[in-house]
């Protein structure tokens, strides 16, 4: 009984969920390697806050996502991308 109720609650909850556009495949999958110096390209795969978008949204294959993660981290290391954005120091 309790289980049935919780399912129906969750279903109702789904109606209010914010829909994130999902791509079924990603153009990056065609690349053999991902250039870490191409900031403009990498910007398309991070959020406004600077976080890496998950695979379920970008549609990357596992191998591509690993390469992308590597590229983004390299770009962050040399100051091409930020580690986080929108943080305001309140002191």
Residue 30 binds other proteins (CB under 8 A): yes
Q: How far is the CB of 2 from other proteins (least distance, A)?
A: 45
Count of other CB atoms within 10 angstroms of residue 64:
20
x-or-dash pattern for other proteins, window 68-87, by CB under 8 A?
------x-xxxxxxxx----
Asked if residue 52 lies in contact with residue 82, where contact means CB atoms within 8 angstroms, the answer is: no
Which one among 28, 53, 68, 72 touches other proteins, defined by CB under 8 A? Answer: 28
Q: How far is the CB of 60 from other proteins (least distance, A)?
A: 12
Find the distance separating the first CA and the last CA of the chain, reported in whole Å. 51
Judged by CB under 8 A, the chain residues 52 through 71 that form the site for other proteins are: none
User: Alpha-carbon distance 80 to 42, whole Å?
Assistant: 10
Question: Where do contacts with other proteins occur on this chain (CB under 8 A)?
Answer: 23, 25-28, 30-31, 35-41, 44, 74, 76-83
């Amino acid at each position: 009984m309790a289980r049935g109720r919780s399912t129906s609650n969750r279903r109702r909850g789904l109606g209010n969920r914010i829909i994130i556009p999902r791509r079924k495949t990603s153009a990056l999958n065609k690349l053999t390697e991902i250039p870490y110096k191409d900031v403009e390209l990498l910007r398309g795969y991070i959020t406004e806050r600077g976080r890496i978008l998950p695979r379920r949204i970008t549609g990357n294959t596992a191998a591509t996502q690993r390469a992308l993660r590597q590229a983004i981290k390299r770009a962050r290391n040399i100051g091409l991308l930020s580690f986080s954005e929108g943080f305001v120091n309140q002191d």
